[in-house]
Structure 1
Amino acid sequence: MSKHYSIEKIQEIAGGDEDFMAVVAQTFLDEIPPDLEALQEAVSNNNKELAYQFAHKMKPNFEMFGVEINKEILAIESWTKTSKKQSAIESKLETVVTTVKEVIKELKEDFNL
């Protein structure tokens, strides 16, 4: 079964330092869940400015971990600049939430966190 993230970029940044990789993974686990929750809340409240901020803030973490939800995050960011309702972006947000929850589970298992 394939992972929902890729370790290659982290290994490259860490230069093979396993402890550093674990710290990076723990940082992801500490920061992303509350940000993801805040993004969901911002979308449900139609707070587009806040939704943009959280989507944009999380994007580098997803890229670093090779989480393939960039087009969904970009769609959420684009939605924040429109007058469309939340329903226009709900499926993209659901993909982000589902994928990120899997990444969190896999990181906890892979790094024994």
Structure 2
Amino acid sequence: MNGNALEWNSWQNYPKKTIYGKQYSSIGNRLYSQHAVDRMQPSWLGFPAGTVGAGRNISPNIVEHTIQNEIKTSSMVNGVKRTVYWSGDVGVVTERNSKIVVTILRRSEK
């Protein structure tokens, strides 16, 4: 890794941490759900196991940029506060004060 670049890979290649009975990948200073990592995966790595379609080509660096620099909204989902950050067509859904990345969204072209 060079400079501040975060490793961009697939679920099985990241170190794991278990919190509240759920397993997360540790990338930089955040934890990522398997769903988020599958959505981020580089498309050239193919389809993540158990998913339909290739990854969305969104690197952890883009996730960090989106969280640090863009517009956010918050809502409650099943009693848990979720914050969604947007930058252009990329959305990052987080929980626990943005320490856990739950999923990655992509707005489609209109």
Q: TM-score, normalised by structure 2?
A: 0.29
Specify which structure has the higher proportion of helix.
1
Larger radius of gyration: 1
Name the structure where strand makes up a greater proportion of residues: 2
TM-score, normalised by the number of residues in structure 1: 0.29
